[in-house]
Amino acid sequence: MSGRLPERFRLGPVDLDRYLAGQMQGLAYMRRLRAIEDEEARHVRELEEAWITLAADEPDDARFAIAWREVAAGWSFARINELIAKHNAYYGVEARVPMDPRTGGYKRSWDRDPYGAAWVLERFPPVRVLASESGG
């Protein structure tokens, strides 16, 4: 018997990726994307709670808007933005995104924008009436 494995026991690149993904609950980029989704969901829950609470505590519309903008500006997205920076840096290699031979770059972009105050205000506008109605 030779030292080579029979054909049925050899793993190609796709089979190996599937095997590793199954053993490790996803490849690195898959786990990172899941972590980004989980972090975003956590931020949405916490921001919604803070938005509704501030609306209940601050009856003045103008002061609510100022206070909510301050909350949005001070909200920490350090962990999720760190995950996004890693995603933007490594996804192309890890997911084997095809390259464009003419340009030497990737055929498609996967970059995600970091989270910040604009993201908060887009989802939870500084309008007290909306926050009050959302809170029931």
Q: Is 74 helix (H, G, I), strand (E, B) or coil?
A: helix
* Lowest mean pLDDT segment, chosen from 15-24, 44-53, 64-73, 90-99: 15-24
**Choice among 41-50, 65-74, 84-93, 110-119 with the minimum mean pLDDT:** 84-93
Q: In whole angstroms, give the CA distance from residue 30 to residue 18.
A: 12
Flag whether pLDDT at 60 surpasses 80. yes
User: For residue 5, is it within any domain?
Assistant: no
Find out whether 80 and 40 touch, Cβ atoms under 8 Å: yes
Domain assignment present for 49: yes
Residue 91 has pLDDT above 80, yes or no: yes
CA distance 106 to 88: 12
In this prediction, residue 95 has a pLDDT band, given cuts at 50, 70 and 90, of: confident
- Whether 27 contacts 17, CB under 8 Å: yes
* Cα first-last separation, the chain: 74
- Asked if residue 3 is part of any domain, the answer here is no
- What is the arithmetic mean of pLDDT over 93-110? 79
pLDDT in tens, 110-134: 789 999 999 999 999 999 999 999 8
The tally of domains found in the chain comes to: 1
Q: CA 22, CA 24: separation in Å to the nearest integer?
A: 6
pLDDT in tens, 10-49: 555 555 566 555 565 677 888 899 999 999 999 999 999 9
- Kindly state whether residue 64 falls inside one of the protein's structural domains: yes
Residue 40 located in a structural domain: yes
Domain encompassing residue 30: 10-134
Helix, coil or strand: residue 134: helix
DSSP SS3 for 116: coil
Give the model's pLDDT for residue 2: 58
